Structure 1
Amino acid sequence: MTNEIQKQYDRLEDVPSIMLRMKDVYAVPDRHIRYAATKAFFGTKMTEGLSVHSHGVKMLSLVEKLEDLKAGLNNDTYIVVILQSLPPSYDPFIVNYNMNGLEKSIHELINMLVQYEATIHKSEPAVLVGEASTFKAKGKVPDAGRGRRARERPSQPLLAPEVLLLLPRRGRAKGR
């Protein structure tokens, strides 16, 4: 310790009073720690494809940390936030949980989520992944519009009458 700090603590008589004074001066306030823990808890989202068990353990550790800091949240709030942190593939589970009005502890909820994850993976069909073919058709494509009706002309000309007078007529012999 430097001389100035040592002189400040020389006036204090016993170790608990020195520790209390040091805690007051150098400790980070609980409010900041509680803010960081709450932000981490409410901001945690499970990414699709990761284990729900590891996500549940992470959320459970954040819940225990918030309870140690006396954040003032109840069990229902913890469960709602955990359910909201799940990816969209867990929407059927969330609907079922809310529709049945289940009241479970956080540990029971995590166990139910692990069972649901096992059910999802068991029922997922296998997906075949392959390359796209570069097949090119050869030859003429048959025209479905051939025939008498396809040759009929539209009732109105596509060009203005002045332009039609300037164009040679098709289908006539040159000598006529």
Structure 2
Amino acid sequence: MTNEIQKQYDRLEDVPSIMLRMKDVYAVPDRHIRYATTKAFFGIKMAEGSSVQSHGVKMLSLVEKFEDLKAGLDNDTYIDVILQSLPPSYDPFIVNYNMNGLEKSIHELINMLVQYEATTHKSEPAVLVGEASTSKAKGKGARR
């Protein structure tokens, strides 16, 4: 710290008052953090073919930021936004989830999505590429 800044904080008597003063002077306003968090949460989309587990972890960390900022939403809204952030290949899962009226926590939903990904995306069809034959096929009445 420079001498001038140090002199300002020497006048404060205890650590909590110093921390409060430093927060007032140097901290990013909660409003800005809340805006950035909501923008990220409502704007995130999972790319087709990427891991649903890593996407779930990102979404869960944003939910925890909301809770830390005391700007939390209800569980159903979190679930709706998470389901809307999934790519079209998860549409059957979403229909099933909504039709069965499942009431799950965010952690349970992410676990269900990981299981769904494991069962539906594990065996992607393999494309076999072979060489074309150079010999000509003989016709029906061809002699040998």
Is the pair's TM-score, using the shorter chain for normalization, greater than 0.5? yes
Q: Which runs of 5+ in 1 are unaligned?
A: 141-172
Higher relative contact order (CA 8 A, sep 6+): 2
- Give the fraction of aligned pairs with identical amino acids, expressed as a percent: 91
Deviations 1:75-119 (A, max 9, x none): 111111110110001111111111111111111111111121122
Give the SS at the match of 1:123. coil
1:123 deviates by 6.3
* Conservation of the 8 A alpha-carbon contact between 2:63 and 2:72: no
Larger Rg, first or second structure (1 or 2): 1
Give the root-mean-square deviation of aligned CA atoms. Answer: 7.2
CA distance in 2 between partners of 1:28 and 1:9 (Å): 20
- Relative to structure 2, which stretch is displaced further, 40-49 or 115-124? 115-124
1:175 deviates by 52
* Conservation of the 8 A alpha-carbon contact between 2:41 and 2:59: yes
Q: Which runs of 5+ in 2 are unaligned?
A: none
Change in CA separation of 1:11 and 1:138 when aligned onto 2, cut-off 3 Å: same
- Relative to structure 2, which stretch is displaced further, 121-130 or 51-60? 121-130
CA distance in 1 between partners of 2:138 and 2:105 (Å): 66
- Normalised by the length of structure 1, the TM-score is 0.67
Change in CA separation of 1:121 and 1:174 when aligned onto 2, cut-off 3 Å: closer
Change in CA separation of 1:19 and 1:175 when aligned onto 2, cut-off 3 Å: closer
1:136 deviates by 13
Equivalent residues, number: 144
- Normalised by the length of structure 2, the TM-score is 0.80
- Relative to structure 2, which stretch is displaced further, 113-122 or 131-140? 131-140
Change in CA separation of 1:89 and 1:132 when aligned onto 2, cut-off 3 Å: farther
Change in CA separation of 1:4 and 1:124 when aligned onto 2, cut-off 3 Å: closer
CA distance in 1 between partners of 2:34 and 2:123 (Å): 41
- Relative to structure 2, which stretch is displaced further, 92-101 or 1-10? 1-10
CA distance in 1 between partners of 2:134 and 2:99 (Å): 49
